């Protein structure tokens, strides 16, 4: 490599994986990274060959995209790129990260037709080439500290990969987001909660976390699983083993929980993977490894991958150390993710709280488990107990606020959020949750605007919370803030659609029509790629109809809206009536849109559905002043 390598990423791929590689490139570029990604179909020629060789020589990271297509092609220019990258590693110090393989399907490492050097480094799995925030964060971390060794970064060094060690998974985000209209309704909370379009998950928090910009100065000290120090040793204790040192470092990263960042959890997971590779018989290390998977699966990535990992790791922990409080807690926590074992999880958590009454984390997780099954009064008892423990924990205050909202005790909920923010002013979830309460419950627009002015302009790592915060910013006519909060989200928001559609709306609100058109083109390309694989997906058809209408092509949008409406009439409920109404507005069918809205907010639904979108979303402006629409706004909202 050159003496002063460019801070750039070279993306190497087989021709059949061009669309997948483009998705990776766009995700990395959207995070501000420099990606060399050649899309020339006619590869070849001396000038072109020289350019590729120079880029591989000058780049900081080399990302080979590995798939069944690369396996099937025993000859291809990408294989020359791979060999050139391997040659570069001979010029690097031991352990300096350079080759970072990305697997986009179920191709196995052990049988992969790749250079031997590829098998000595960490692989990332992104099924479908759907990049996650954790993946982008990992790449940024590697670029930010290229001078550090792989061991310093928590990555395996060449030749030091544990036998049979699993590749770290960075799975696509299969997150649950509110089944709500993009343009009007945020979350539908059907459990008697007045608050919120914030998604209620069966977890401790529906929260975003403070972004890395929050900085150590604004973050409270790392919280131990008990109320004691993170490293459990007395002055006379023997030095910690290398495995336990890794565990201690990992716990310091993930134990702040909602206040930790995706980078914190990713690095903790890397450290703990090393720990259990060093000593596979250490039950405490496996317990911590399980808990970091629990946190990742609750806060950042709701796919089944992390939940299954948590269960598998916790099972190893409890077998190796059945008397360990940490292992018992991890086992109970892991059981929470399966509806079939929720009752058992709560029983075990109650037992653990009886054994560890001063362990705030254990007490808090029991509260979360009870809240997840709708036992709000019982949940509040345990949140109150956790709040009474020493330490003034902002996450506990935030969780108390959530359950108080679900009990319609809004004054107390607001006070709980204020307590959390007094300790952690940049606590994104508490800030945006309070803002939603002011806007949706209080309907106090001046106070909501005043509070928004106090919230640091940080991106939000948690995709659900970022999506909800985006809409609050739109409602308050703050398009710049809307763009910021979404900036760390994936290109495709699960259950919602392309992020670029949302950013286009924000750009249009800000008067930046060129940027809006560019984002709508990107959104349409992403939807059409997915429709190729899923041609009958109703949500994707709705996404395409919306984008075409926003581009001004109503003629192309109308038949798609008609198809979506017919499917809904035939029983397809993947699109709710509020979303349907929005699509009908886009194709200039206001009467049909009003009928859909009236059905959506009918008392017959017997559940609370927030009208914050109807009140403030500019998408509904074409209906304002219509007597039917105004009657909808005036009708009381139900508690249950």
- How confident is the model over 343-378, as pLDDT tens digits? 999 999 999 999 999 999 999 999 999 998 889 999
Mean pLDDT, range 386-398, rounded to an integer: 93
CA gap 364, 395 in Å, rounded: 9
The angle formed by the CA atoms of residues 75, 80 and 84, to the nearest 5 degrees, is: 160
CA gap 37, 18 in Å, rounded: 10
Closest to 501 (Cα-Cα) out of 471, 533, 460, 476: 471
Residues 510-522 have pLDDT tens digits of 999 999 999 999 9
State residue 158's pLDDT score: 32
CA gap 428, 208 in Å, rounded: 6
Q: Where residue 39 falls among pLDDT bands split at 50, 70, 90?
A: low
Distance of CA 99 to the CA centre of its chain: 25
Residues 424-464 have pLDDT tens digits of 998 888 998 998 899 888 888 889 889 988 888 777 777 77
196-224 b/e (C-beta count within 10 Å ≥ 16 → b): bbbbbbbbbbbbbbbbbebeeeebeebbb
State residue 553's pLDDT score: 97
Strands 102-103 and 61-66: parallel
Query: Does the structure show a pLDDT above 90 at 287?
Result: yes
More confident residue, 179 or 543: 543
CA gap 64, 108 in Å, rounded: 15
Q: Which domains does the chain have, with CATH numbers?
A: 8-144 (3.40.50.10140), 178-220+430-640 (no CATH), 236-392 (1.25.40.10)
**Residue matched to tokens 């020339």:** 40
Closest to 179 (Cα-Cα) out of 638, 538, 576: 576
State residue 494's pLDDT score: 77
Residues 56-102 have pLDDT tens digits of 988 999 999 999 889 888 888 899 899 999 888 888 877 688 999 99
First vs last C-alpha separation in the chain: 64
Query: Rounded to whole angstroms, what are the CA distances from 508 to 478, 493, 515?
Result: 12, 20, 8
**Do residues 53 and 84 touch, judged by C-beta distance below 8 A?**
yes
């Amino acid at each position: 490599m050159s003496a002063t390598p460019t801070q750039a990423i070279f993306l190497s791929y087989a021709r059949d994986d061009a669309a997948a590689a483009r998705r990776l490139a766009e995700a990395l570029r959207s995070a501000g990274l420099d990606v060399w990604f050649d899309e020339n179909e006619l590869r070849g020629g001396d000038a072109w060959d020289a350019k590729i060789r120079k880029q591989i020589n000058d780049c900081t990271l080399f990302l080979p995209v590995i798939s069944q297509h690369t396996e099937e092609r025993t000859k291809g220019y990408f294989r020359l790129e791979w060999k050139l990258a391997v040659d570069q590693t001979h010029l690097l110090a031991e352990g300096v990260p350079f080759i970072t393989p990305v697997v986009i399907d179920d191709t196995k490492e052990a049988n992969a037709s790749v250079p031997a050097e590829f098998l000595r480094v960490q692989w990332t799995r992104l099924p479908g080439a759907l990049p996650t925030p954790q993946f982008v964060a990992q790449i940024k971390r590697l670029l930010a500290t290229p001078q550090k060794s792989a061991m310093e970064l928590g990555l395996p060094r060449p030749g030091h990969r544990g036998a049979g060690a699993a590749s770290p998974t960075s799975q696509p985000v299969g997150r649950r987001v509110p089944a709500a209209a993009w343009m009007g309704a945020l979350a539908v909370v059907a459990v008697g909660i007045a608050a919120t379009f914030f998604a209620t998950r069966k977890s401790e928090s529906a929260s975003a976390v403070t972004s890395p910009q929050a900085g150590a100065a604004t973050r409270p000290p790392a919280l131990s699983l008990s109320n004691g120090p993170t490293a459990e040793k007395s002055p006379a204790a023997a030095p910690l083993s290398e495995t336990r040192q890794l565990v201690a470092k990992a716990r310091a990263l993930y134990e702040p929980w909602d206040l930790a960042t995706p980078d914190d959890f990713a690095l903790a997971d890397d450290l703990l993977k090393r720990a259990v590779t060093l000593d596979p018989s250490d039950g405490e290390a496996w317990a911590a490894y399980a808990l970091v998977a629990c946190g990742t699966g609750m806060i950042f990535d709701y796919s089944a991958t992390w939940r299954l990992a948590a269960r598998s790791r916790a099972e190893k922990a409890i077998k190796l150390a059945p008397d360990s409080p940490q292992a018992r807690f991890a086992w109970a926590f892991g059981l929470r993710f399966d509806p079939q074992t929720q009752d058992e999880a709560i029983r075990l958590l109650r037992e653990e709280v009886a054994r560890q009454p001063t362990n705030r984390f254990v007490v808090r997780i029991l509260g979360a488990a009870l809240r997840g099954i709708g036992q709000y009064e019982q949940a509040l008892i345990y949140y109150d107990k956790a709040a009474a423990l020493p330490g003034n924990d902002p996450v506990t205050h935030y969780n108390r606020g959530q359950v108080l909202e679900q009990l319609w005790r809004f004054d107390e909920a607001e006070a709980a959020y204020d307590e959390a923010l007094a300790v952690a002013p940049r606590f994104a979830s508490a800030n945006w949750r309070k803002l939603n309460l002011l806007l949706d419950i209080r309907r106090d627009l001046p106070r909501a605007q005043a509070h928004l002015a106090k919230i640091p302009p940080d991106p939000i790592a948690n995709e659900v919370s970022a999506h909800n915060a985006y809409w609050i910013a739109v409602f308050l006519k703050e398009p710049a803030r809307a763009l910021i909060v979404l900036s760390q989200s994936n290109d495709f928001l699960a259950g919602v659609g392309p992020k670029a559609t949302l950013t286009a709306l924000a750009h249009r609100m800000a008067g930046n029509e060129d940027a809006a058109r560019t984002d709508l083109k990107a959104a349409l390309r992403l939807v059409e790629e997915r429709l190729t694989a899923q041609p009958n997906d109703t949500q994707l058809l709705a996404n395409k109809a919306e984008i075409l209408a926003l581009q001004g092509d109503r003629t192309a949008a109308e038949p798609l809206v008609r198809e979506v409406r017919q499917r809904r009439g035939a029983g397809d409920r993947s699109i709710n009536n509020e979303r349907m109404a929005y699509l009908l507005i886009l194709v200039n069918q206001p009467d049909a849109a009003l009928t859909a809205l009236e059905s959506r907010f009918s008392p017959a639904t017997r559940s609370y559905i927030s009208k914050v979108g109807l009140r403030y979303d500019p998408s509904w402006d074409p209906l304002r002043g219509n007597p039917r629409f105004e009657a909808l706004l005036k009708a009381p909202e139900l508690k249950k």
